[in-house]
Chains A and B, each alone.
Chain A
Amino acid sequence: MAPLAFRTVLALVLLFLYLPLAVMAVMAFNQSPLYALPMVFDTIWFERLAQNERLIGAGLNSILIALANTVIATALGTMAALAFQRYTFRGSSLLQILLLPPITIPWLIIGTAMLVLFFWTGIGRGLHAILLGHVALSLPYVIVVVGARLRSFGVSLEEAAATLGAGPWTTFRRVTLPVIAPGVVAAALFAFAVSFDQFVISYFLAPPGVSTLPVEIYSAIRKGFTPEINAISTVIILVSMGLMLAVARLYRFGGER
Protein backbone atom coordinates (compact mmCIF):
# COMPACT_ATOMS: atom_id res chain seq x y z
CA MET A 1 0.00 0.00 0.00
CA ALA A 2 1.11 3.48 -0.69
CA PRO A 3 2.71 5.43 2.14
CA LEU A 4 0.11 8.10 1.41
CA ALA A 5 -2.69 5.75 2.48
CA PHE A 6 -0.89 5.07 5.75
CA ARG A 7 -0.36 8.78 6.39
CA THR A 8 -4.06 9.36 5.80
CA VAL A 9 -4.95 6.63 8.30
CA LEU A 10 -2.68 8.22 10.91
CA ALA A 11 -4.11 11.67 10.31
CA LEU A 12 -7.71 10.44 10.55
CA VAL A 13 -7.00 8.52 13.75
CA LEU A 14 -5.43 11.58 15.37
CA LEU A 15 -8.41 13.66 14.26
CA PHE A 16 -10.79 11.09 15.75
CA LEU A 17 -8.87 11.04 19.04
CA TYR A 18 -8.53 14.79 19.48
CA LEU A 19 -11.55 16.32 17.75
CA PRO A 20 -14.10 15.81 20.57
CA LEU A 21 -11.59 17.06 23.14
CA ALA A 22 -10.92 20.15 21.04
CA VAL A 23 -14.65 20.77 20.63
CA MET A 24 -15.13 20.50 24.38
CA ALA A 25 -12.27 22.90 25.09
CA VAL A 26 -13.50 25.44 22.55
CA MET A 27 -17.10 25.23 23.79
CA ALA A 28 -15.89 25.96 27.30
CA PHE A 29 -15.16 29.47 25.98
CA ASN A 30 -18.49 29.83 24.18
CA GLN A 31 -20.90 32.28 25.75
CA SER A 32 -23.99 30.28 24.77
CA PRO A 33 -24.90 27.54 27.26
CA LEU A 34 -26.49 25.63 24.37
CA TYR A 35 -23.19 25.52 22.45
CA ALA A 36 -24.71 27.67 19.69
CA LEU A 37 -22.62 28.75 16.73
CA PRO A 38 -21.23 31.15 15.65
CA MET A 39 -19.41 31.17 18.89
CA VAL A 40 -19.00 34.22 21.08
CA PHE A 41 -15.80 34.10 23.10
CA ASP A 42 -16.37 34.44 26.81
CA THR A 43 -14.73 33.22 30.02
CA ILE A 44 -18.02 33.28 31.91
CA TRP A 45 -18.02 29.51 32.52
CA PHE A 46 -14.59 29.61 34.11
CA GLU A 47 -15.81 32.45 36.32
CA ARG A 48 -18.88 30.41 37.29
CA LEU A 49 -16.56 27.48 37.95
CA ALA A 50 -14.46 29.60 40.30
CA GLN A 51 -17.62 30.23 42.36
CA ASN A 52 -18.94 26.68 42.28
CA GLU A 53 -18.11 25.45 45.76
CA ARG A 54 -19.31 21.90 45.14
CA LEU A 55 -16.96 21.42 42.21
CA ILE A 56 -14.06 23.13 43.98
CA GLY A 57 -14.59 21.02 47.10
CA ALA A 58 -14.71 17.88 45.00
CA GLY A 59 -11.56 19.02 43.20
CA LEU A 60 -9.72 19.52 46.48
CA ASN A 61 -10.80 16.03 47.59
CA SER A 62 -9.47 14.62 44.33
CA ILE A 63 -6.10 16.32 44.75
CA LEU A 64 -5.85 15.31 48.41
CA ILE A 65 -6.59 11.65 47.66
CA ALA A 66 -4.28 11.62 44.65
CA LEU A 67 -1.41 13.01 46.75
CA ALA A 68 -1.94 10.54 49.60
CA ASN A 69 -2.30 7.74 47.06
CA THR A 70 0.95 8.76 45.37
CA VAL A 71 2.93 8.65 48.61
CA ILE A 72 1.51 5.35 49.85
CA ALA A 73 1.45 3.47 46.53
CA THR A 74 4.94 4.62 45.54
CA ALA A 75 6.44 3.62 48.90
CA LEU A 76 4.75 0.22 49.16
CA GLY A 77 5.15 -0.52 45.46
CA THR A 78 8.87 0.32 45.41
CA MET A 79 9.42 -1.94 48.44
CA ALA A 80 7.62 -4.82 46.72
CA ALA A 81 9.53 -4.22 43.47
CA LEU A 82 12.81 -4.39 45.41
CA ALA A 83 11.77 -7.72 46.92
CA PHE A 84 10.83 -9.16 43.52
CA GLN A 85 14.00 -7.98 41.78
CA ARG A 86 16.58 -8.49 44.52
CA TYR A 87 15.41 -11.58 46.40
CA THR A 88 14.47 -15.05 45.27
CA PHE A 89 11.77 -16.71 47.29
CA ARG A 90 9.10 -19.35 46.92
CA GLY A 91 5.78 -17.94 45.77
CA SER A 92 7.39 -15.01 43.95
CA SER A 93 5.80 -15.86 40.59
CA LEU A 94 2.42 -16.50 42.20
CA LEU A 95 2.55 -13.16 44.00
CA GLN A 96 3.35 -11.40 40.73
CA ILE A 97 0.38 -13.08 39.06
CA LEU A 98 -1.78 -11.75 41.91
CA LEU A 99 -1.01 -8.25 40.62
CA LEU A 100 -3.19 -8.97 37.59
CA PRO A 101 -6.68 -8.94 39.18
CA PRO A 102 -6.56 -5.25 40.16
CA ILE A 103 -5.67 -4.38 36.55
CA THR A 104 -7.75 -6.89 34.59
CA ILE A 105 -10.99 -7.32 36.53
CA PRO A 106 -13.48 -4.62 35.47
CA TRP A 107 -13.55 -1.75 37.96
CA LEU A 108 -17.31 -2.16 38.25
CA ILE A 109 -16.77 -5.55 39.91
CA ILE A 110 -13.89 -4.39 42.12
CA GLY A 111 -15.77 -1.23 43.11
CA THR A 112 -18.98 -3.01 44.09
CA ALA A 113 -16.99 -5.69 45.92
CA MET A 114 -15.19 -3.01 47.96
CA LEU A 115 -18.53 -1.37 48.71
CA VAL A 116 -19.89 -4.70 50.02
CA LEU A 117 -16.91 -5.46 52.26
CA PHE A 118 -16.33 -1.92 53.53
CA PHE A 119 -19.99 -1.35 54.33
CA TRP A 120 -20.33 -4.75 55.97
CA THR A 121 -17.22 -4.55 58.16
CA GLY A 122 -17.80 -0.97 59.28
CA ILE A 123 -14.87 0.49 57.35
CA GLY A 124 -17.65 2.40 55.67
CA ARG A 125 -17.66 4.74 52.71
CA GLY A 126 -15.84 8.06 52.46
CA LEU A 127 -12.53 9.58 51.46
CA HIS A 128 -10.59 6.97 53.47
CA ALA A 129 -12.36 4.14 51.62
CA ILE A 130 -11.70 5.81 48.26
CA LEU A 131 -8.02 6.12 49.17
CA LEU A 132 -7.88 2.42 50.10
CA GLY A 133 -9.27 1.56 46.67
CA HIS A 134 -7.04 3.90 44.68
CA VAL A 135 -3.85 2.56 46.27
CA ALA A 136 -4.88 -0.99 45.33
CA LEU A 137 -5.28 0.05 41.68
CA SER A 138 -2.00 1.99 41.62
CA LEU A 139 0.22 -0.64 43.29
CA PRO A 140 0.56 -3.01 40.29
CA TYR A 141 1.61 -0.13 38.01
CA VAL A 142 4.23 1.12 40.49
CA ILE A 143 5.63 -2.39 40.98
CA VAL A 144 5.96 -2.92 37.22
CA VAL A 145 7.48 0.49 36.45
CA VAL A 146 9.98 0.50 39.33
CA GLY A 147 10.71 -3.20 38.73
CA ALA A 148 11.65 -2.51 35.10
CA ARG A 149 14.09 0.17 36.20
CA LEU A 150 15.61 -2.05 38.91
CA ARG A 151 16.07 -4.93 36.47
CA SER A 152 17.75 -2.82 33.82
CA PHE A 153 20.50 -1.87 36.27
CA GLY A 154 21.35 -5.28 37.68
CA VAL A 155 22.92 -5.81 41.07
CA SER A 156 26.63 -5.14 40.44
CA LEU A 157 26.60 -1.60 41.88
CA GLU A 158 24.82 -2.81 45.01
CA GLU A 159 27.22 -5.72 45.36
CA ALA A 160 30.14 -3.33 45.11
CA ALA A 161 28.68 -1.11 47.84
CA ALA A 162 28.05 -4.11 50.08
CA THR A 163 31.56 -5.45 49.48
CA LEU A 164 32.95 -2.07 50.47
CA GLY A 165 31.14 -2.38 53.79
CA ALA A 166 27.87 -0.50 53.32
CA GLY A 167 24.90 -1.87 55.22
CA PRO A 168 21.63 -2.68 53.43
CA TRP A 169 20.02 0.66 54.32
CA THR A 170 23.09 2.69 53.29
CA THR A 171 23.33 0.71 50.06
CA PHE A 172 19.70 1.45 49.31
CA ARG A 173 19.91 5.14 50.17
CA ARG A 174 23.24 5.92 48.53
CA VAL A 175 23.30 3.52 45.56
CA THR A 176 19.97 1.92 44.68
CA LEU A 177 17.67 4.90 45.20
CA PRO A 178 19.68 7.41 43.12
CA VAL A 179 19.90 4.86 40.31
CA ILE A 180 16.18 4.02 40.24
CA ALA A 181 15.01 7.57 40.98
CA PRO A 182 13.67 8.28 37.45
CA GLY A 183 11.63 5.08 37.62
CA VAL A 184 10.29 5.96 41.06
CA VAL A 185 9.32 9.47 39.95
CA ALA A 186 7.62 8.10 36.83
CA ALA A 187 5.73 5.58 38.98
CA ALA A 188 4.69 8.34 41.38
CA LEU A 189 3.31 10.52 38.55
CA PHE A 190 1.57 7.45 37.19
CA ALA A 191 -0.01 6.75 40.57
CA PHE A 192 -1.17 10.36 40.80
CA ALA A 193 -2.79 10.12 37.37
CA VAL A 194 -4.46 6.77 38.14
CA SER A 195 -6.05 8.25 41.25
CA PHE A 196 -6.89 11.67 39.83
CA ASP A 197 -8.73 10.13 36.87
CA GLN A 198 -10.36 7.26 38.73
CA PHE A 199 -14.13 7.38 38.60
CA VAL A 200 -15.72 3.94 39.03
CA ILE A 201 -14.21 2.96 42.39
CA SER A 202 -14.75 6.45 43.84
CA TYR A 203 -18.34 6.44 42.63
CA PHE A 204 -19.27 3.35 44.62
CA LEU A 205 -17.31 4.37 47.72
CA ALA A 206 -18.49 7.98 47.94
CA PRO A 207 -21.31 8.50 50.47
CA PRO A 208 -23.89 11.22 49.80
CA GLY A 209 -22.34 14.65 50.28
CA VAL A 210 -18.75 13.52 49.73
CA SER A 211 -17.34 13.32 46.26
CA THR A 212 -14.29 13.53 44.06
CA LEU A 213 -14.20 15.53 40.86
CA PRO A 214 -15.14 12.68 38.46
CA VAL A 215 -18.04 11.62 40.72
CA GLU A 216 -19.32 15.20 40.83
CA ILE A 217 -18.98 15.52 37.04
CA TYR A 218 -20.87 12.26 36.48
CA SER A 219 -23.83 13.40 38.53
CA ALA A 220 -23.79 16.80 36.79
CA ILE A 221 -23.81 15.11 33.37
CA ARG A 222 -26.72 12.88 34.38
CA LYS A 223 -28.71 15.86 35.63
CA GLY A 224 -28.16 17.76 32.37
CA PHE A 225 -25.39 19.46 30.48
CA THR A 226 -23.80 22.54 31.94
CA PRO A 227 -20.95 24.49 30.34
CA GLU A 228 -19.21 24.69 33.72
CA ILE A 229 -18.56 20.99 33.29
CA ASN A 230 -16.85 21.82 29.97
CA ALA A 231 -14.63 24.27 31.77
CA ILE A 232 -13.60 21.89 34.56
CA SER A 233 -13.23 19.00 32.08
CA THR A 234 -10.86 21.09 29.97
CA VAL A 235 -8.77 21.82 33.06
CA ILE A 236 -8.72 18.11 33.98
CA ILE A 237 -7.67 17.01 30.48
CA LEU A 238 -4.81 19.51 30.50
CA VAL A 239 -3.65 18.41 33.96
CA SER A 240 -3.67 14.68 33.18
CA MET A 241 -2.07 15.07 29.77
CA GLY A 242 0.62 17.26 31.31
CA LEU A 243 1.26 14.58 33.92
CA MET A 244 1.56 11.84 31.32
CA LEU A 245 3.94 13.93 29.22
CA ALA A 246 6.11 14.22 32.33
CA VAL A 247 5.94 10.44 32.82
CA ALA A 248 6.84 9.88 29.17
CA ARG A 249 10.01 11.93 29.58
CA LEU A 250 11.09 9.62 32.38
CA TYR A 251 9.75 6.28 31.28
CA ARG A 252 9.51 5.01 27.74
CA PHE A 253 6.22 3.30 27.06
CA GLY A 254 7.68 1.46 24.13
CA GLY A 255 10.28 -0.27 26.25
CA GLU A 256 13.87 -0.37 25.02
CA ARG A 257 14.11 1.11 21.59
Chain B
Amino acid sequence: MTVGAVPAARAAPVARAGRERGLAAAGLIGPAYLWLLLTIFLPLSAMLLFSFLTVAPFGAREAEFTLKHYAAFFQKEFYRTLTWRSLRLGFDVTFWCVLIGYPTALALARHVPGRWREALFLLIVLPFWSNALVRVFSWTMVLRGGGLIDQAAQAVWPEAPSLGILFTYPAIVVGLVHSFLPYMILTCYLSLQAIEPSLEEAALSLGASPLTSFRRVTLPLSLPGMLVGVVLIFVPVIGSFMEPRILGGPEGIMLGTVIEDQFTVVFNWPLGAALSYILLAIVLLLIALAAPILGRPLAAASGR
Protein backbone atom coordinates (compact mmCIF):
# COMPACT_ATOMS: atom_id res chain seq x y z
CA MET B 1 0.00 0.00 0.00
CA THR B 2 1.36 3.40 -0.89
CA VAL B 3 0.41 6.16 1.44
CA GLY B 4 1.54 9.35 -0.19
CA ALA B 5 0.10 11.78 2.28
CA VAL B 6 -1.86 14.67 0.88
CA PRO B 7 -3.79 16.39 3.67
CA ALA B 8 -7.52 16.54 3.05
CA ALA B 9 -8.36 19.90 1.54
CA ARG B 10 -10.62 20.99 4.38
CA ALA B 11 -8.15 19.89 7.02
CA ALA B 12 -5.31 21.74 5.35
CA PRO B 13 -5.06 24.62 7.86
CA VAL B 14 -4.33 22.24 10.71
CA ALA B 15 -2.41 19.64 8.76
CA ARG B 16 0.83 18.57 10.31
CA ALA B 17 3.76 17.48 8.22
CA GLY B 18 2.68 15.26 5.32
CA ARG B 19 4.82 12.32 6.31
CA GLU B 20 3.38 12.23 9.79
CA ARG B 21 -0.16 12.15 8.44
CA GLY B 22 0.80 9.42 6.01
CA LEU B 23 2.13 7.27 8.83
CA ALA B 24 -1.00 7.93 10.86
CA ALA B 25 -3.24 6.85 7.98
CA ALA B 26 -1.16 3.72 7.38
CA GLY B 27 -1.26 2.88 11.09
CA LEU B 28 -5.03 3.29 11.19
CA ILE B 29 -5.70 1.28 8.09
CA GLY B 30 -2.98 -1.35 8.35
CA PRO B 31 -4.46 -3.76 10.93
CA ALA B 32 -7.84 -4.08 9.17
CA TYR B 33 -6.26 -4.79 5.80
CA LEU B 34 -3.65 -7.18 7.16
CA TRP B 35 -6.56 -9.10 8.65
CA LEU B 36 -8.39 -9.13 5.31
CA LEU B 37 -5.18 -10.19 3.57
CA LEU B 38 -4.83 -13.21 5.88
CA THR B 39 -8.49 -14.22 5.82
CA ILE B 40 -9.73 -13.32 2.34
CA PHE B 41 -7.02 -12.66 -0.20
CA LEU B 42 -4.37 -15.22 0.81
CA PRO B 43 -7.00 -17.99 1.16
CA LEU B 44 -8.40 -17.21 -2.28
CA SER B 45 -4.86 -17.39 -3.70
CA ALA B 46 -4.13 -20.65 -1.90
CA MET B 47 -7.34 -22.16 -3.23
CA LEU B 48 -6.43 -21.10 -6.77
CA LEU B 49 -3.12 -22.93 -6.35
CA PHE B 50 -4.86 -26.04 -4.98
CA SER B 51 -7.23 -26.14 -7.94
CA PHE B 52 -4.23 -26.90 -10.19
CA LEU B 53 -2.80 -29.71 -8.03
CA THR B 54 -3.32 -33.46 -8.43
CA VAL B 55 -3.76 -34.01 -4.68
CA ALA B 56 -3.81 -31.74 -1.61
CA PRO B 57 -0.12 -31.32 -0.63
CA PHE B 58 -0.44 -32.54 2.96
CA GLY B 59 2.06 -34.84 4.67
CA ALA B 60 4.35 -36.77 2.37
CA ARG B 61 2.04 -36.70 -0.63
CA GLU B 62 3.59 -35.48 -3.85
CA ALA B 63 1.36 -32.98 -5.60
CA GLU B 64 1.84 -32.21 -9.25
CA PHE B 65 0.50 -29.52 -11.52
CA THR B 66 -2.60 -30.53 -13.44
CA LEU B 67 -5.51 -29.08 -15.35
CA LYS B 68 -7.60 -32.21 -14.94
CA HIS B 69 -10.12 -30.75 -12.46
CA TYR B 70 -10.99 -27.93 -14.83
CA ALA B 71 -10.96 -30.35 -17.77
CA ALA B 72 -13.36 -32.64 -15.89
CA PHE B 73 -15.76 -29.75 -15.53
CA PHE B 74 -15.90 -29.15 -19.25
CA GLN B 75 -15.86 -32.82 -20.27
CA LYS B 76 -18.35 -34.37 -17.90
CA GLU B 77 -22.00 -33.81 -18.59
CA PHE B 78 -22.70 -34.03 -14.84
CA TYR B 79 -21.01 -30.73 -14.01
CA ARG B 80 -22.69 -28.86 -16.85
CA THR B 81 -26.09 -30.10 -15.69
CA LEU B 82 -25.13 -29.09 -12.16
CA THR B 83 -24.11 -25.58 -13.18
CA TRP B 84 -27.28 -25.20 -15.18
CA ARG B 85 -29.35 -26.31 -12.17
CA SER B 86 -27.65 -23.70 -9.97
CA LEU B 87 -28.11 -20.96 -12.57
CA ARG B 88 -31.75 -21.91 -13.02
CA LEU B 89 -32.27 -21.74 -9.26
CA GLY B 90 -30.70 -18.28 -9.35
CA PHE B 91 -33.05 -17.17 -12.15
CA ASP B 92 -36.16 -18.58 -10.49
CA VAL B 93 -35.45 -17.12 -7.06
CA THR B 94 -34.50 -13.72 -8.51
CA PHE B 95 -37.61 -13.70 -10.73
CA TRP B 96 -39.96 -14.27 -7.80
CA CYS B 97 -38.11 -11.73 -5.67
CA VAL B 98 -38.58 -9.06 -8.36
CA LEU B 99 -42.19 -10.02 -8.96
CA ILE B 100 -43.09 -9.80 -5.27
CA GLY B 101 -40.49 -7.30 -4.09
CA TYR B 102 -41.01 -4.43 -6.51
CA PRO B 103 -44.78 -3.99 -5.92
CA THR B 104 -44.13 -4.26 -2.19
CA ALA B 105 -41.50 -1.54 -2.35
CA LEU B 106 -43.84 0.59 -4.46
CA ALA B 107 -46.67 0.08 -1.97
CA LEU B 108 -44.36 1.03 0.87
CA ALA B 109 -42.90 4.09 -0.84
CA ARG B 110 -46.10 5.52 -2.34
CA HIS B 111 -49.11 4.22 -0.47
CA VAL B 112 -48.13 4.11 3.19
CA PRO B 113 -48.19 7.27 5.29
CA GLY B 114 -44.84 8.33 6.75
CA ARG B 115 -45.29 7.23 10.35
CA TRP B 116 -46.31 3.71 9.38
CA ARG B 117 -43.76 3.49 6.61
CA GLU B 118 -40.73 3.35 8.86
CA ALA B 119 -42.26 0.69 11.11
CA LEU B 120 -43.33 -1.47 8.15
CA PHE B 121 -39.95 -1.05 6.50
CA LEU B 122 -38.28 -2.25 9.68
CA LEU B 123 -40.64 -5.23 9.93
CA ILE B 124 -39.71 -6.23 6.39
CA VAL B 125 -35.93 -6.00 6.76
CA LEU B 126 -35.88 -7.48 10.27
CA PRO B 127 -36.08 -11.16 9.27
CA PHE B 128 -33.25 -10.58 6.82
CA TRP B 129 -30.89 -9.96 9.69
CA SER B 130 -31.96 -12.94 11.70
CA ASN B 131 -30.44 -16.36 11.36
CA ALA B 132 -30.68 -17.70 7.78
CA LEU B 133 -30.36 -21.33 8.84
CA VAL B 134 -33.16 -21.05 11.36
CA ARG B 135 -35.45 -19.39 8.84
CA VAL B 136 -34.87 -22.19 6.33
CA PHE B 137 -35.49 -24.74 9.07
CA SER B 138 -38.80 -23.08 9.95
CA TRP B 139 -40.07 -23.81 6.42
CA THR B 140 -39.58 -27.55 6.89
CA MET B 141 -42.39 -27.44 9.44
CA VAL B 142 -44.73 -25.64 7.07
CA LEU B 143 -43.94 -27.53 3.87
CA ARG B 144 -43.49 -31.15 4.88
CA GLY B 145 -46.17 -33.78 4.28
CA GLY B 146 -48.45 -33.61 7.31
CA GLY B 147 -47.09 -30.14 8.04
CA LEU B 148 -49.00 -26.91 8.50
CA ILE B 149 -50.21 -26.60 4.89
CA ASP B 150 -51.45 -30.19 4.88
CA GLN B 151 -53.19 -29.90 8.24
CA ALA B 152 -54.87 -26.65 7.21
CA ALA B 153 -56.07 -28.23 3.96
CA GLN B 154 -57.35 -31.33 5.71
CA ALA B 155 -59.17 -29.27 8.31
CA VAL B 156 -61.22 -27.81 5.46
CA TRP B 157 -61.49 -30.99 3.40
CA PRO B 158 -60.51 -34.19 5.23
CA GLU B 159 -59.96 -36.07 1.97
CA ALA B 160 -57.49 -33.49 0.66
CA PRO B 161 -54.38 -35.02 -0.94
CA SER B 162 -51.05 -34.18 0.64
CA LEU B 163 -49.72 -30.81 -0.47
CA GLY B 164 -46.40 -31.33 1.28
CA ILE B 165 -43.71 -30.12 -1.09
CA LEU B 166 -40.72 -30.55 1.22
CA PHE B 167 -37.78 -32.17 -0.62
CA THR B 168 -38.86 -30.83 -4.00
CA TYR B 169 -37.43 -28.06 -6.17
CA PRO B 170 -40.29 -25.62 -5.40
CA ALA B 171 -39.51 -25.97 -1.68
CA ILE B 172 -35.95 -24.74 -2.30
CA VAL B 173 -37.30 -21.77 -4.28
CA VAL B 174 -39.79 -20.88 -1.53
CA GLY B 175 -37.09 -21.00 1.15
CA LEU B 176 -34.62 -18.91 -0.84
CA VAL B 177 -37.24 -16.33 -1.85
CA HIS B 178 -38.10 -16.04 1.83
CA SER B 179 -34.41 -15.53 2.62
CA PHE B 180 -33.67 -12.91 -0.04
CA LEU B 181 -36.96 -11.06 -0.64
CA PRO B 182 -36.15 -8.36 1.95
CA TYR B 183 -33.01 -7.53 -0.07
CA MET B 184 -35.09 -6.79 -3.18
CA ILE B 185 -37.65 -4.75 -1.25
CA LEU B 186 -34.83 -2.79 0.39
CA THR B 187 -32.98 -1.86 -2.81
CA CYS B 188 -36.18 -1.06 -4.76
CA TYR B 189 -37.55 0.98 -1.88
CA LEU B 190 -34.38 3.04 -1.55
CA SER B 191 -34.31 3.89 -5.26
CA LEU B 192 -38.04 4.71 -5.27
CA GLN B 193 -37.53 6.99 -2.27
CA ALA B 194 -34.78 8.83 -4.12
CA ILE B 195 -37.06 9.86 -7.00
CA GLU B 196 -38.14 13.52 -6.83
CA PRO B 197 -41.94 13.55 -6.33
CA SER B 198 -42.08 16.63 -8.58
CA LEU B 199 -41.06 14.51 -11.60
CA GLU B 200 -44.16 12.35 -11.27
CA GLU B 201 -46.31 15.39 -10.57
CA ALA B 202 -44.97 17.03 -13.72
CA ALA B 203 -45.81 13.96 -15.80
CA LEU B 204 -49.35 13.89 -14.40
CA SER B 205 -49.94 17.62 -14.89
CA LEU B 206 -48.73 17.35 -18.48
CA GLY B 207 -51.53 14.89 -19.12
CA ALA B 208 -49.93 11.48 -18.59
CA SER B 209 -52.16 8.85 -17.05
CA PRO B 210 -50.92 7.39 -13.73
CA LEU B 211 -49.96 4.22 -15.60
CA THR B 212 -47.98 6.15 -18.24
CA SER B 213 -46.31 8.22 -15.54
CA PHE B 214 -45.28 5.01 -13.81
CA ARG B 215 -44.08 3.37 -17.02
CA ARG B 216 -42.17 6.37 -18.40
CA VAL B 217 -40.91 8.05 -15.21
CA THR B 218 -41.00 5.95 -12.04
CA LEU B 219 -40.02 2.56 -13.46
CA PRO B 220 -36.97 3.70 -15.48
CA LEU B 221 -35.68 5.77 -12.56
CA SER B 222 -36.04 2.90 -10.10
CA LEU B 223 -34.54 0.28 -12.41
CA PRO B 224 -30.95 0.67 -11.14
CA GLY B 225 -32.09 -0.16 -7.61
CA MET B 226 -33.90 -3.23 -8.86
CA LEU B 227 -30.81 -4.38 -10.77
CA VAL B 228 -28.66 -3.97 -7.66
CA GLY B 229 -31.15 -6.23 -5.90
CA VAL B 230 -30.98 -8.74 -8.75
CA VAL B 231 -27.20 -9.05 -8.47
CA LEU B 232 -27.24 -9.13 -4.67
CA ILE B 233 -29.71 -12.03 -4.78
CA PHE B 234 -28.48 -13.98 -7.79
CA VAL B 235 -24.88 -14.22 -6.56
CA PRO B 236 -25.51 -15.81 -3.14
CA VAL B 237 -28.27 -18.06 -4.51
CA ILE B 238 -26.03 -19.76 -7.07
CA GLY B 239 -23.52 -20.33 -4.25
CA SER B 240 -26.08 -21.70 -1.81
CA PHE B 241 -25.79 -25.20 -0.40
CA MET B 242 -27.48 -25.21 3.00
CA GLU B 243 -30.94 -24.27 1.68
CA PRO B 244 -31.01 -26.89 -1.14
CA ARG B 245 -29.70 -29.48 1.31
CA ILE B 246 -32.35 -28.87 3.98
CA LEU B 247 -35.36 -28.11 1.77
CA GLY B 248 -34.48 -30.07 -1.36
CA GLY B 249 -33.25 -33.36 0.06
CA PRO B 250 -32.26 -35.60 -2.88
CA GLU B 251 -33.69 -32.98 -5.26
CA GLY B 252 -31.30 -30.41 -3.85
CA ILE B 253 -28.08 -31.36 -5.61
CA MET B 254 -26.55 -28.09 -6.79
CA LEU B 255 -23.07 -26.82 -7.61
CA GLY B 256 -22.90 -25.57 -4.02
CA THR B 257 -23.75 -28.91 -2.41
CA VAL B 258 -21.23 -30.75 -4.60
CA ILE B 259 -18.51 -28.28 -3.56
CA GLU B 260 -19.51 -28.77 0.08
CA ASP B 261 -19.19 -32.54 -0.37
CA GLN B 262 -15.69 -32.26 -1.85
CA PHE B 263 -14.51 -30.51 1.31
CA THR B 264 -16.50 -32.32 4.01
CA VAL B 265 -17.26 -35.83 2.70
CA VAL B 266 -15.15 -36.84 -0.30
CA PHE B 267 -12.04 -34.85 0.74
CA ASN B 268 -11.05 -34.12 -2.84
CA TRP B 269 -9.95 -30.59 -2.04
CA PRO B 270 -8.33 -29.78 -5.39
CA LEU B 271 -11.53 -30.68 -7.26
CA GLY B 272 -13.57 -28.70 -4.74
CA ALA B 273 -11.19 -25.75 -5.21
CA ALA B 274 -11.53 -25.91 -9.00
CA LEU B 275 -15.33 -26.02 -8.75
CA SER B 276 -15.26 -23.10 -6.29
CA TYR B 277 -13.18 -21.11 -8.77
CA ILE B 278 -15.56 -21.89 -11.61
CA LEU B 279 -18.39 -20.64 -9.41
CA LEU B 280 -16.31 -17.57 -8.55
CA ALA B 281 -15.66 -16.95 -12.26
CA ILE B 282 -19.42 -16.97 -12.91
CA VAL B 283 -19.95 -14.58 -9.98
CA LEU B 284 -17.21 -12.20 -11.12
CA LEU B 285 -18.55 -12.21 -14.67
CA LEU B 286 -21.97 -11.22 -13.34
CA ILE B 287 -20.52 -8.50 -11.12
CA ALA B 288 -18.42 -7.16 -14.00
CA LEU B 289 -21.51 -7.02 -16.22
CA ALA B 290 -23.40 -5.17 -13.51
CA ALA B 291 -20.47 -2.99 -12.42
CA PRO B 292 -21.60 0.19 -14.23
CA ILE B 293 -24.94 -0.06 -12.41
CA LEU B 294 -23.50 -1.23 -9.10
CA GLY B 295 -20.85 1.46 -9.18
CA ARG B 296 -23.25 4.35 -8.78
CA PRO B 297 -24.85 3.44 -5.44
CA LEU B 298 -21.45 2.35 -4.21
CA ALA B 299 -19.94 5.69 -5.13
CA ALA B 300 -22.85 7.40 -3.42
CA ALA B 301 -22.34 5.30 -0.31
CA SER B 302 -18.66 6.17 -0.07
CA GLY B 303 -19.44 9.82 -0.73
CA ARG B 304 -16.94 10.30 -3.56
Considering only CB atoms, which chain B residue lies closest to A4 in the complex?
Answer: B111
- Whether B223 sits at the interface, judged by CB under 8 Å, is no
Binds B, one of A16-24, A42-50, A175-183: A16-24
- Whether A88 sits at the interface, judged by CB under 8 Å, is yes
Q: How near does chain B come to A35, taking the closest CB pair, in angstroms?
A: 6
Are B279 and A244 within 8 A (Cβ)? no
**Which range holds the interface residue count of chain A?**
35 or more
Interface of A is mostly: helix
Interface of B is mostly: helix
Q: How near does chain B come to A188, taking the closest CB pair, in angstroms?
A: 15
Which residues of the partner chain A approach B10 to less than 8 Å between Cβ atoms? Answer: 154-155, 159
Give complex CA distance A123, B151 in Å. 51
- Whether A204 sits at the interface, judged by CB under 8 Å, is yes
- Whether B11 sits at the interface, judged by CB under 8 Å, is yes
- Whether B285 sits at the interface, judged by CB under 8 Å, is no
Considering only CB atoms, which chain B residue lies closest to A150 in the complex?
Answer: B303
Give complex CA distance A217, B129 in Å. 18
Give complex CA distance A222, B167 in Å. 13
Contacts A107-B239, A113-B276; A80 near B141 (Cβ below 8 A): no
How many residues of chain B have a CB within 8 Å of chain A? 107
- Whether A209 sits at the interface, judged by CB under 8 Å, is no
- Over the window 232-255 of chain B, the binary record of Cβ atoms lying under 8 Å from chain A Cβ atoms (1 yes, 0 no) is 000110111110011000000000
Q: Pick the residue among B25, B47, B190 that contacts A116 (CB under 8 A).
A: B47
- Whether B178 sits at the interface, judged by CB under 8 Å, is yes
- Over the window 128-158 of chain B, the binary record of Cβ atoms lying under 8 Å from chain A Cβ atoms (1 yes, 0 no) is 0111111101111110001110010000000
Q: How near does chain A come to B111, taking the closest CB pair, in angstroms?
A: 4
Give 6 A-B contacts (CB < 8 Å), ordered by A residue: A80-B29, A90-B2, A101-B41, A109-B44, A136-B40, A241-B129
A16-B100, A24-B137, A159-B13 are known; give 18 further A-B pairs, CB within 8 A.
A6-B110, A9-B100, A13-B181, A17-B181, A20-B138, A35-B141, A90-B2, A104-B283, A105-B280, A106-B235, A110-B44, A132-B35, A136-B36, A197-B130, A200-B242, A218-B242, A245-B122, A245-B126
Enumerate chain B interface residues (CB-CB to A < 8 A). Answer: 1-11, 13-14, 21-22, 24-25, 28-29, 31-33, 35-36, 38-44, 46-47, 50, 56-58, 100, 103-104, 106-108, 110-112, 118, 120-127, 129-135, 137-142, 146-148, 151, 178, 181-182, 185-186, 189-190, 193, 235-236, 238-242, 245-246, 256, 259-260, 263-264, 269, 272-273, 276, 279-280, 283, 287, 298, 301-304
